Amino acid sequence: KLDIAPKLKFFLWQILNQGLQVRANLHYKCAEISENCPTCGTPKEDEDHLFINCPLITNFWFQRKTIVWLEERIPIVDFIHTLNYIKRTKEATSPLMTKFIFSIWSIWKSRNNFIFSQKDININDIFERARFAYLEWKNRHDLTQNITHNTTQEGRSACIHPHSHQPNIIQVSWEKPIG
């Protein structure tokens, strides 16, 4: 019931169903792949390691205390516990949950850029990518929530923005195709 982009819903579904292509899951499917974390070398890269315990990512969660954008009240104990905490506190549709999801998405993107493009993982880049993606989503979301669709007396569709006193009237007509 999250009001987020479908790709992020699918991303969460993969995490919760051990379908995310972290090394431990890949190793389980194909024994020839090493379970070691590609960024720090720890013997097992699973979801908890990638999103919480990897030394590079641990810095991300510690630095959130100095970044106003991401609240400190998320208990970073283990990944599944954190998701369940947010769900249990009825904040599944809150900005807190949405920001958390954008943060883990940004961590995932940074990890993949490290593996496939040899780009170093930078904590500030993770924050900025997550913040930018969240703000872009929020602006789009707010805009669609604030626009109301009306139909004029002539049957034309009118799109009225709440900050505008004049509707933008778009005339739409349809003719039956010949043949």
Bridge pairing between strands 168-170 and 148-151: unpaired
pLDDT of residue 125: 92
The residues that bridge with 160 in the sheet, in sequence order, are 148
Q: Which two tokens stand for residue 95?
A: 């900005």
Residue 138 one-letter amino acid: K
Q: What is the pLDDT of residue 108?
A: 94
What pLDDT does residue 158 have? 47
Q: Specify the pTM.
A: 0.73
Give the chain's end-to-end CA distance (angstroms, integer): 45
Starting at the earlier edge strand, list the strands of the sheet with 168-170: 148-151, 157-160, 168-170
Phi and psi at 118, nearest 5°, equal 55, 35
Question: pLDDT (tens digit, 0 to 9) for every residue of the chain, 179 residues total?
Answer: 677 888 888 998 888 788 889 999 888 888 788 999 999 999 999 988 998 889 988 888 877 666 666 665 565 666 666 666 666 665 556 777 788 889 899 999 999 999 999 999 998 899 899 999 999 988 887 777 666 444 444 444 444 444 444 555 556 667 778 87
